Amino acid sequence: MKGTNIAEQFHVVNILPPQDVDTGKTADIFSMKNYAHATIIVQCGSTNADAGNITIEECDNFTPTTDTAIDFYYYAETTAAGDTLGARTKAEAATGIDVSANDNTTYVIEIDASQLSDGYPCIELKWSDPGGATYASAVAILSGPRYAEDQSPTAIA
């Protein structure tokens, strides 16, 4: 086999199944405890004129008891149905990504486990209220497993 077999070499977590994120949404929390890196792919279908903001928070557990917004880097394709990501951009903890009002856009968020504070192994994606119907989904692809196995262990429990 040439290339990368994602199912065997990475761990895929469906953190936000396709849905309307109107009124805001918090994606499923996942743990980076056993992984070095997370790539979060966010896809937007139809969006509202104000599509809201995406922030990333580090969490101390799956509840979470304590969560704090963090800075992160992302790449964006904000032209309708395009496939060329733009340059790496830093998102500030307080504001995150200002989601484009264009339909059919993609955001790729990159986070290293080393960016997380001690005692905060978990991550959650939060989408602020877009003020109207906005359809989206997100998946986290975890890489750099601490213990490689044929079938990777869960990262959501």
In angstroms, the CA 151 to CA 97 distance is 33
Least confident interval from 91-95, 112-116, 145-149: 145-149
Domains and CATH numbers, the chain: 13-143 (2.60.120)
Tokens, residue 23: 């009124």
136 alpha-carbon distance from chain centroid: 12
- Split at pLDDT 50, 70, 90, the class of 153 is confident
Reduce the secondary structure of the chain to three states and give it as a string.
Answer: CCCCCHHHHCEEEEEEEEEECCCCEECCCEECCCEEEEEEEEEECCCCCCCCEEEEEEECCCCCCCEEEECEEEEEECCCCCCCCCCCEEECCCCCEECCCCCCEEEEEEEEHHHCCCCCCEEEEEECCCCCCCEEEEEEEEEEECCCCCCCCCCCC
Q: What is the pLDDT of residue 51?
A: 85
The tens digit of pLDDT for each residue in 36-52 reads 999 999 999 888 778 89
Q: What is the dihedral of CA 46, 139, 131, 54, to 10 degrees?
A: -120
25-29, 52-56, 82-86: the lowest-pLDDT one? 82-86
Give the pLDDT mean for 67-90: 93
Other Cβ atoms within 10 Å of 23 Cβ, number: 12
